[in-house]
Each structure stands twice: as C-alpha cells, then as structure tokens.
Structure 1
Amino acid sequence: MDWISPGKLKKLGILNMNRRNVGYIGRYNERSSFPLVDNKLKTKLAVSEYGVKTPKLLQIVRQQHEISHFRELSADLDGFAIKPAKGSGGKGITVIVGRDEDNFVKASGVRISVAMLERHLTNILAGLYSLAGTPDVAIIESLVQSSPALAKFSFQGVPDIRIIIFQGYPVMAMLRLATKASDGKANLHQGAVGVGLNLSTGRSLNAVQFNRPITLHPDTGLPLENIKIDGWEDMLEMASRCYEATGLGYMGVDLVVDANEGPLLLELNARPGLAIQMANGEGLLPRLTNIEALKRPHFSPRERVHYAMEAFGKH
C-alpha cells in the first residue's frame, strides 16, 4: 500500500475541522434535521421509507415499567443489541452474542446477568449516554451477523463501512475494523483500524491505526491490502438515498454487511470525523469542491453514485 505523510496530505486538500464545521456542516446541514440523525429510532423510521434497511427492531423501551417486558423478550433471545436512541460515539451500546445458562455473553466474552442489563436500560432512560444528558429511549435490535468475508478481518466486533455523503454524492469511504485496543468497537479514536476504500471498486487502499500506516491487522495478523466489499455499487446507492431521507447535505453513513440480510444501515452522523482522509491517503476538499462546482446536479441516487465512482475512483 502506498502511504502518504500528513504533510503531503495537506497539499492534497485535507479538510480541517474548522472548515468542516463552518463550510460544510454549518452551511449544508439544516439545524432542524439534526434531531433526526441524533436519534437512532427516528433515523430507522425515516430511512425505511426510502428503501434503506436497518437491523430488525425488537423492542422500544420508553419508560421504566416497560423494562419488565425486556426480561420476557430476552428469555427467548440468544443475541441482540441494546442502544440508547440519542447516544453518540458508540457510548451505551451493549451487544449480546450468546447465552451461558442464565447469563448473557457480550461480544468481549464477559458474562452479564439479566438484572445488569435491566440496570443498563434504566441508565439509558435516565440519559446517562445521551448527547445532552436528557432523558432517552432504549432500542433493542436483532444481532447483526457479520458477513464472514469481512468478519475475519475484525477482532471480535462487527466491521462497518463509513461513507461520506455530500449533497447526495458519495465522496469518500473506509472500512473500520475492531481491535483489542478498541475493545471490539469500530471506533478509530479508541484504536480501531481504518481502511480506505477505492470509491469505484470497493477495494482497500491504505490502512491506518492511531493515524499511523499499517499493512497487517494488529490482532488477526491478516493483510489489509486485498480486501474487497461485495455489492459495492448497491451500498453506495443505499448511502446516497439517505440524502433524500434526511435532507442533510454533509453526513457520514455507517453500514454493516449482515450474512443473511446484506447491507444494513447502523446510523447516520451529521458531524463525521476527518480520519477517513488519513485512511484514504487523500484529502476531502478536492472532492467536495468538485460536487459544489457541478452545473447540473444528478437527481437520482444511482446517477449520483455513477458520477462519484467515475470522478473519485482510482481505476
């Protein structure tokens, strides 16, 4: 893999936080749309009308007395995910992957009782993980069974794909792989691996961990240079449709590939991070200005995807 230093990256049009906040988030994202993407439940309902699939919703816990229904529901479940609707950065998400008699097994292998999960639900309702500390809602979703082709590259956690969508066009993408350092979460700040993806083919480009270049996954030891995402064009179109669903001009779309259901939307982010540029070895600015300069924008998601694959892919 070719590595480009941070200094050279600046010359290639790196987007910094100031410019992102003022020139793109502030300019292209209506404040009225933020609550839609800051609430996972509202997101699920909004995107479903545009043919974007999400993990199956098993239960919504809005009030304390509804937690007793969770005990009944979980009695028949081997795997599920509990999420705060207004959580951010993966905070408060608990993923259960199996059972051990009366206990549940987390992705990390830790055993946890149903009483502990009920306390976790109480904490979610109290707003412990919400963006502003305000009362929240807990959602329980079916467990994502990651596609084996991608799961083998990740350590414990489910790998996901972040696609930056600008004015409905996919402009940059990366695969995020969990590590021991990131505690099984696909969070780059915590030590997950970011793998830049060729926008025209879905093949891996560069890989970074803690913003440093790597060629092998630190825990699985697998090479990261020949990864290919299946059904890539369909995934880009799915991400592109989120523009119509939300009206947000600049956002991060996080997808997973389920072994049975195919691509699913995990969440949307109205303030996506900038480390994706390091993973791709290229700055976002030239791609964003390319879209801004279009005389006639493309109206259908499929047309926008074809344009982006041609304009920003490496053939």
Structure 2
Amino acid sequence: MDWISPRRLKKLGMLNMNRRNVDYIARYNDRSSYPLVDNKLKTKLAVSEYGVKTPKLLQVVRQQHEISHFRDMAADLKGFAIKPAKGSGGKGITVITGRDGDDFVKASGARIPAAMLERHLTNILAGLYSLAGTPDVAIVENLVQSSPALARYSFQGVPDIRIVVFQGYPVMAMLRLATTASDGKANLHQGAVGVGLDIGSGKSLNAVQFNRPITLHPDTGLALENIGIDDWENMLEMAARCYEATGLGYMGVDLVVDANEGPLLLELNARPGLAIQMANGCGLLPRLNAIEDLKRPHFSPRERAQFAMESFARR
C-alpha cells in the first residue's frame, strides 16, 4: 500500500507495532501461557479439551531412535505433514502429497527419498527450526485436504484463515492464499495474498499482496471479491474457544477448512502481525476499544462470536 500519513492512519484506527506490544501483548498475554502456543504439540493437546479440532496426529518423534519407526508408520500413507513443534513462520514444515515408488512427492512435484525425510527429522530434533535453537520435537500430522471451494483460489498451498481474538472475542479476520512468490506458503511477508473477511458474514472485502491492493490472484487469475467462507459462525466460535484453552488475551488463531473434517485449527500465535488491517482496509483499534469498554463481557464462546458478528460486520 502506498504511503499513508500518520494522521490518516490514526483516523483509520490502525494499531501500530509499539502499541500492540505494550498495550495488548504485554498487558493481556501472561508469559506463562506462551509455551502453550509456541509449541504445536502442546497447542493440540490444550485445545482438544475445549472441543477444537486439529489435524490428526500420526506420530510424535522425541528421540533420535524413534526416527527408525518413521518408515513403517508412513508406509501406507500418501500424504502427511512433518512439523517442528517449536518452529515459527512455517520454517521446517515439509508437506508430502503423494508417493512415487519408494519416494515421497511434495506439492511442487519434487521427489524426496525416505532417507532425506529422516535427516529432516534429525534436524528438527537438533533444534534447527526452533525459536531459540533449542532441542525440539517433530510431529507428523494427517495431510489437510483443503475445501475445493477455497483451494481453487490458492497456488500450490493450503489457504488458511487468520482470526485475531481479543479477550475471547474474534475482532478481525483474513484469508491467506499461497502464491508462487510465497513458495506455496500462506505467509504474507513472503508474498502470499491477504483477503480481508467481513466478521459478520465471512465474505471477502479487500485483497493485498506485499501490502498493495489487488483484485485478482497473481497466479490463478481468479477474482478475489466474491469469496465466501462456509460454516463461518462455527469458525468464529472455535477461535473464541481458544481463549479458554490458553488464557491469552490477544492472539492470532489460524484455521483451515478441510474437505472432509471441516474447520481445523492449525496453530496459535501470541504475537499476531498487523497486516490483517491492510487486508481489511480498516484498523483494529476501534474494535479493541469496543471490547475493553464492555460493561458486561459475554461468558460463552458462542455469545462472544455472535456479538462480534453483530458489532463488527461491515455495514
């Protein structure tokens, strides 16, 4: 997006990084809750107790000797994802979508021998992708089969939905679509497309790539103005439930829509980025202020989701 004056940003209610860090992350996120969201395995176990579904766990590799079981576990699998439990920004994630004889096939079509995947598991355990370079755990999950209605808009990668949740209320959302520039990952900093979503309906509003407005996906050529997310209220309620599961007052909730399982939680983020505001064409501050000003907070996740849909819908 082109340069905007500080006065214009203030009028739009844009939250900046300093204010996010001080007034929201530091104030509302207890440090003791961070390990829950900085570790994907701990996240899966925590949210499952609150009825939030995640991709099926196939294997957990904690020790080097457990890697020898990987080939047997994966022998009959056509697709799966290997992830470092403490990785961030998609680093270290390997997605397998098929088989070619004894080799595994990535979404890009590249062939990988089993020995290479075993080396990758070894690197994960050594902490190559962990946040602080500390020893890690590798998790192997069922492959997400993205809903065809959304998959068509993304390029060689699973589209996901980021929802910012404040004090248990979903306040802003966007759809993230992979591109050639993002190497099949739904990461806006690497060039994925961000599509703002109306909290009231789950329908697309605006779209950006590298913070600049676009109307067509750069690879698929499809228009981004009439996208709708099915089961939207349920997804908002899932996001709201993550507040009870973690106790984090300000976080990003990343969901996918699986063709067979429906909405699934991919991961949580205690320090969600601010580009979601550009994708929505409006700032977070008015919505955050509205939640802080509530005289009587809503206690159930469903009530909070319904309040958000009614209060923050694009008029």
- 1:258 maps to 258
Counterpart check, 1:222 vs 2:222: yes
Aligned 8 A contact 1:185 1:192 in 2: yes
- 1:110 maps to 110
Mapping of 1:73-88 within 5 angstroms? 73-88=73-88
Q: Deviations over 1:213-237 (max 9, x none)?
A: 0000000000000000000000000
259-268 or 103-112, larger mean C-alpha shift: 103-112
Q: Deviations over 1:99-147 (max 9, x none)?
A: 1111111112111110000000000000000000000000000000000
- 2:239 maps to 239
Q: 1:4 to 1:49 in 2, by over 3 A?
A: farther
Aligned 8 A contact 2:2 2:212 in 1: no
- 1:280 maps to 280
Q: Deviations over 1:24-73 (max 9, x none)?
A: 00000000000000000000000000000000000000000000111111
Q: CA deviation at 1:10?
A: 3.7
Distance 2:52 2:173 in 1: 18
Matched-pair identity in %: 84
Q: CA deviation at 1:181?
A: 0.4
Counterpart check, 1:129 vs 2:129: yes
Distance 2:4 2:307 in 1: 28
Q: Deviations over 1:177-234 (max 9, x none)?
A: 0000000000000000000000000000000000000000000000000000000000
Counterpart check, 1:37 vs 2:30: no
In structure 2, the residue corresponding to 1:205 is in which secondary structure?
Answer: strand
Q: 1:213 to 1:287 in 2, by over 3 A?
A: same
Distance 1:101 1:9 in 2: 55
4-13 or 100-109, larger mean C-alpha shift: 4-13
TM-score relative to the length of structure 2 = 0.98
Distance 1:6 1:157 in 2: 32
Distance 2:9 2:281 in 1: 7
Q: CA deviation at 1:257?
A: 0.2
- Structure 2 residues without counterparts, runs of 5 or longer: none
Aligned 8 A contact 1:9 1:281 in 2: no
- 2:98 maps to 98
- 2:56 maps to 56
- Structure 1 residues without counterparts, runs of 5 or longer: none
Q: Post-superposition, which runs of at least 4 consecutive aligned residues in structure 1 deviate over 4 A?
A: none
